[in-house]
Structure 1
Amino acid sequence: MIEDVPIISINVKILKFWSFILVHNWRRYISIIPAMIMNVAQFLDMYFTTEPIDSIARNFYFVVLWFIAVMRALYLTANRRKFEVFMENLEYMYHEIKRDGEKPIVNLLNEVTNNARRISKFNLAFAAFVSTGFVLYPLFTGDRALPFGVTIPGVDKYAEPAYGIIYAWQVIITPMGCCMYISFTSIVVGYMMFGTVAAQYLQHRLRKLREPGDTDRMVMMKIVWCVQYHRRLIRYTSQLNDLVTYVSFLEFVTFVATICALLFALNIVTTFQQMFIVSTYIFMRVIQIFTMYWHANELSDQSTKVAIAAYDSPWVDFNVPARKALVFIILVAQKPLSIMVGNIYPMTMQTFQSILNAAYSFFTILSQIYG
């Protein structure tokens, strides 16, 4: 069962509960439809707003956050079968490494699995903490306010009973939005972390091509297995890239805009409470993107080390056909296996740094314009 694979099980179970994958029931609609309606109301609020610039910056952050959450949920449900097939392949490869019984790699897999589970739990716990702040913030403003700015044509959102209904509606759908947003990030990170283990597993096998008592035929069979496994790893990364590349591009564009807006808001707020809240928003966005880019970078880095592992094998003792097969692995491994942002930029730490630089540059321009 896919949901029993420990490295992704937490997020698979959450996404399955809301019927984004594996099942199709009423929960999908009670999570997506209210979130879509609210996001439309948020866009209307941004269009008609007359609030000060700091409130606009804060509301813009929430508009983008909910828009990404809804887009992720819709994308996941529209491509549900592709995700399921991909996870079935991951499940097979995961248990294959377990069955192989190579202690260093099994220990590594267990360690990475534990790390992936810790990341998922941290993301969920932190999202719950921040979401609680979202929904409780209006209670401490001293005025009637809503967690997320919305405009509903013909409705006075601050008059009863509309205010109570809208407030309750936003409180109820916030946990659903967390599941849409956080679980998607965490499960993609789990995919990347397993790809890193698979690359290290291949490296381990390449370094042990000849063991005492192995004949040339046995060595050649091991090399053929390594060639085939490398192809599987390439296919795994390519399929993962197809699943996340356009979602990553949406994150790329919106991250620059939201961080720029939040930095501007941080620059003009006057109270400690406001500074703390805006800083928390910034930290949440940065940590989510950083986690994805870090592990995508690790996958790319480990894939290039396959060539080094092949060269580190005792190839001088091999026959000519075996050496040629090793050269083939080395040549193919020269190109890193990268997760792309919109099939344009590789998802690496260098790209992440460029995003931060772009966000800060736009922030300085915005600060100069508004003094």
Structure 2
Amino acid sequence: MKNSDCLASAIAIMKYTGVWLPDNLQRRQKIAYIACGVVTQIFIFYFMIFAEIAYVYKHRHDVERMVDAAVLLLSHLVQAVKVMTVILRQESIKRLIDLGDGPDFTHADPKLRAIVDRAVKLTGLVGSLIICSAFVTSVFWCVVPALQDQLTLPLNTAYPFDTSGPYIFTAIYAYLSVSVTTVGMADAAENFLVSGLLMLAATQVDLLNQLLLDINAEGATVSYKKTVRCIMFHQRIIDYVKEIGRIFDVPIFCQCIVSSVILCMTVFKITVTREPIELVTMIFYLVCIFMELLMYCYPADVLLNKSLRVADAAFPGWSGDVNTARALVLIALRSQKPLTIDAGGMFRISLPTAALVVKTSYTYYALLQQTLSK
């Protein structure tokens, strides 16, 4: 089992949507895939975004309609940033995945291998559940208009042509249903790509702690060599986390900033809707948005806390020669600076960050309610 097996479902979704270039393609196959990917993204994704922007501009003086349309529009704009990040930095992401599968992060010790395998299986299961939840929410979103007394399109969009005719309305409805479902699953896959990489990094910190705990006084030379290997392993983990932050800092920053607004608008729609099915759909969507935020904040928080425990593992009551003790001091001192992911270089990603986003969204919601009441 490879360490990157937990990312298999996310990578498969991105391949099908034309975002992730498969390996080992010949030149003509690569050109054909890129061309199909560009057409797919423009037709299914960006054309839908332009229609949503046109609707918001058309109803820019109607606050309620703007709020209703902006819920998905903001999500799609942030997803556009994620898509461009994956496309433009794909080679760096693939090198990062290969590094996680390489000898630097693969251990022959059965005990360490068992820890990694459990983490990979659990992370892969969580990723599959997240993608399935995104699929269910997208299906609900597309089915709701068909169950209402007056049939409407799944999304609030505006087009430069009349969509009221029976044939064109059916075609637009089918197009939006396919787009919403595909884009929803792709967004979940792109989010989980970052989350899975962070969980793999946290697992490697677990292995480092275990290796430090296994250092004992069986001999000065052997203990010192083990400690040096731990120092090198620690540095590789640090470089690995820095690379994750360098690649994904912009989409993480955009997600955290926009999530507060999206949560606010979603809660507002839940409080004003009178349709039971739409209420269930919006609740599903609210859960998905919150899970989307936690997919960044929770693994980053786990990584942060585990990295702070490295110093405790370096000194488990062990005593030995002076050289080994000095090397362990270096690890302990370096671990005082936790492994973190900074969003756009402005703030640290962790569970307190998620709590702050929720608090900010409530402030926006209270302001929106006050504005509409006037």
Q: Which residue of 1 aligns with 2:155?
A: 148
Partners of 1:20 and 1:346 in 2: CA distance: 28
Instruction: Report the alpha carbon displacement of residue 368 of structure 1 after superposing the two structures with TM.
Output: 1.5
1:111 lines up with 2:118 in the alignment: yes
Structure 2 gap segments, 5+ residues each: 23-29
SS at match of 1:161: helix
Partners of 2:165 and 2:213 in 1: CA distance: 71
Contact 1:300–1:336 (CA<8 Å) still a contact in 2?
yes
1:360 lines up with 2:362 in the alignment: yes
1:231 lines up with 2:231 in the alignment: no
Q: Which residue of 2 aligns with 1:6?
A: 5
Contact 1:207–1:313 (CA<8 Å) still a contact in 2?
no
Instruction: Report the alpha carbon displacement of residue 199 of structure 1 after superposing the two structures with TM.
Output: 0.2
Contact 1:245–1:340 (CA<8 Å) still a contact in 2?
yes
Q: Which residue of 1 aligns with 2:15?
A: 16
Instruction: Report the alpha carbon displacement of residue 171 of structure 1 after superposing the two structures with TM.
Output: 2.0
Q: Per-residue CA shift, 1:222-279, capped at 9, x if unaligned?
A: 1110110010010010001112111011101210111111122222223433322222
Contact 2:18–2:41 (CA<8 Å) still a contact in 1?
no
Partners of 1:292 and 1:90 in 2: CA distance: 19
Equivalent position amino acid for 1:171 in 2: S
Q: Per-residue CA shift, 1:155-211, capped at 9, x if unaligned?
A: 122234332221122122233313420111112111111111100100011111126
SS at match of 2:119: helix
Quick one: percent identity of the two aligned structures? 16
Q: Which residue of 1 aligns with 2:26?
A: none
1:38 lines up with 2:45 in the alignment: no
Q: Which residue of 1 aligns with 2:82?
A: 72
Partners of 1:95 and 1:17 in 2: CA distance: 29
Partners of 1:50 and 1:327 in 2: CA distance: 61
1:295 lines up with 2:299 in the alignment: yes
Contact 2:59–2:65 (CA<8 Å) still a contact in 1?
no
Contact 1:209–1:313 (CA<8 Å) still a contact in 2?
no
Q: 1:175 to 1:270 in 2, by over 3 A?
A: closer
Contact 1:72–1:184 (CA<8 Å) still a contact in 2?
yes
Partners of 2:278 and 2:39 in 1: CA distance: 32
Equivalent position amino acid for 2:16 in 1: F
Q: Which residue of 2 aligns with 1:286?
A: 290
1:153-302 correspondence runs (5 A): 153=160, 155-210=161-216, 214-302=218-306
Contact 1:54–1:265 (CA<8 Å) still a contact in 2?
no
Out of 349-358 and 166-175, give the one that drifted further.
166-175
Q: Which residue of 2 aligns with 1:370?
A: 372
Partners of 2:238 and 2:292 in 1: CA distance: 25
Q: Which residue of 2 aligns with 1:348?
A: 350
Structure 1 gap segments, 5+ residues each: none
RMSD: 2.1
Instruction: Report the alpha carbon displacement of residue 217 of structure 1 after superposing the two structures with TM.
Output: 1.4
Runs of 4+ that moved beyond 6 A: none
Q: 1:336 to 1:115 in 2, by over 3 A?
A: same
Contact 2:104–2:233 (CA<8 Å) still a contact in 1?
no
Partners of 2:278 and 2:170 in 1: CA distance: 24
Partners of 2:316 and 2:228 in 1: CA distance: 17
Equivalent position amino acid for 1:5 in 2: S
1:100 lines up with 2:109 in the alignment: yes
Q: Which residue of 1 aligns with 2:97?
A: 87
Q: 1:18 to 1:27 in 2, by over 3 A?
A: farther
Q: Per-residue CA shift, 1:101-156, capped at 9, x if unaligned?
A: 2x1x3332222112111111111211111111121122122223111111122x12
Q: Which residue of 2 aligns with 1:322?
A: 324
Partners of 2:172 and 2:262 in 1: CA distance: 25
1:61 lines up with 2:71 in the alignment: yes
Instruction: Report the alpha carbon displacement of residue 53 of structure 1 after superposing the two structures with TM.
Output: 4.8
Partners of 1:335 and 1:58 in 2: CA distance: 44
Instruction: Report the alpha carbon displacement of residue 58 of structure 1 after superposing the two structures with TM.
Output: 2.9
Give the TM-score, by structure 1 length: 0.91
Partners of 2:136 and 2:221 in 1: CA distance: 59
Q: Which residue of 1 aligns with 2:339?
A: 337
SS at match of 2:178: helix
Out of 273-282 and 83-92, give the one that drifted further.
273-282
Q: 1:27 to 1:120 in 2, by over 3 A?
A: farther
Contact 2:20–2:86 (CA<8 Å) still a contact in 1?
yes
Partners of 2:104 and 2:291 in 1: CA distance: 27
Instruction: Report the alpha carbon displacement of residue 311 of structure 1 after superposing the two structures with TM.
Output: 1.6
Partners of 1:63 and 1:276 in 2: CA distance: 20
- Aligned residue pairs total 362
